[in-house]
Amino acid sequence: MAEVTAHHGLFKDTNLHVDDTGGPGRPVVLIHGWPLSGESWKYQVPVLADAGYRVVTYDRRGFGRSDKPLTGYTYDTLAEDLHTLLTELDLRDVTLVGFSMGGGEVARYAGEYGSERLHSVVFASAVPPYLMQSGDNPDGPLTKKQAAGMAASLTKDKDAFYDGFVTEFFSAKGELKVTEAQRREARALCDQADKAAALACMAAFGATDFRDDLTKVAVPALVLHGDSDATVPFEGSGARTHAALVGSEVHVIAGGPHGVNVSHADEWNRALLDFLAR
């Protein structure tokens, strides 16, 4: 375990909690979804490490064990945090794996910092290219009314909101696809999130347009998604990202909910390892 100082502020530095398996293998950086933490990768880290990769996870600012500053929850700053992590740990030839909200950091990192440190990227149940439905984004799966309703529900009663959110996170066609213990583990991670950070990041992942960022992805890419994702539907997100990334690969997991890396961990891990080996 370690900390990386992601931002030197006027009054206080922002430190990110980092877990790094170390070793000489090619690095794989796992970027967690909202509103969880790096601990949500518990079914991936040992598998990747056993395969010889150096696995790095970190908690996004405002979440998990990282600092929770008042500001810095735009994707420009979040991508800067990721860039600082790669620089401070001197990681090169990296595969970035961005889950859900984390896919936005992958896209914005490529858009802002290019591919110098990258080997490949993975968009896993990820929010790009652009969630918010609008006149110039009619296929966006998130309406402004839905976004406002989510923000209002989280503001009113975060415990009730998180409980419902996590249940949907792991459900496909209304059926929970994980054990109750697994659902509760994820629910507990939500309680580590700062409420203001969660609201700000909700606004960011809903309303940020990554379409231009995707044009700057110049390394091999994999889109990994469940076909029954009710949180970030494949048709409005993963399918469009795959279409935007010429030459990208796609692996769709039948019956997979949003949290498919837990519900279908074996298939998810195999698809990632196959991609990493190429």
DSSP label of 39: G
pLDDT confidence band for 178 (50 / 70 / 90)? very high
Which among 120, 213, 229, 264 is annotated as catalytic? Answer: 229
Q: Is 115 a catalytic residue?
A: no
pLDDT value of residue 15 = 93
Which among 66, 100, 237, 248 is annotated as catalytic? Answer: 100
Q: Is 83 a catalytic residue?
A: no
Q: What is the mean pLDDT of the chain?
A: 96
Which among 7, 251, 258, 264 is annotated as catalytic? Answer: 258
Q: Is the pLDDT of residue 8 over 90?
A: no
Q: Is the pLDDT of residue 189 over 60?
A: yes
pLDDT value of residue 211 = 98
pLDDT value of residue 11 = 52
pLDDT value of residue 48 = 98
Q: Is 229 a catalytic residue?
A: yes
Structure tokens at 81: 């945090």
Tell me the domains of the chain and their CATH numbers: 2-277 (3.40.50.1820)
pLDDT value of residue 4 = 79
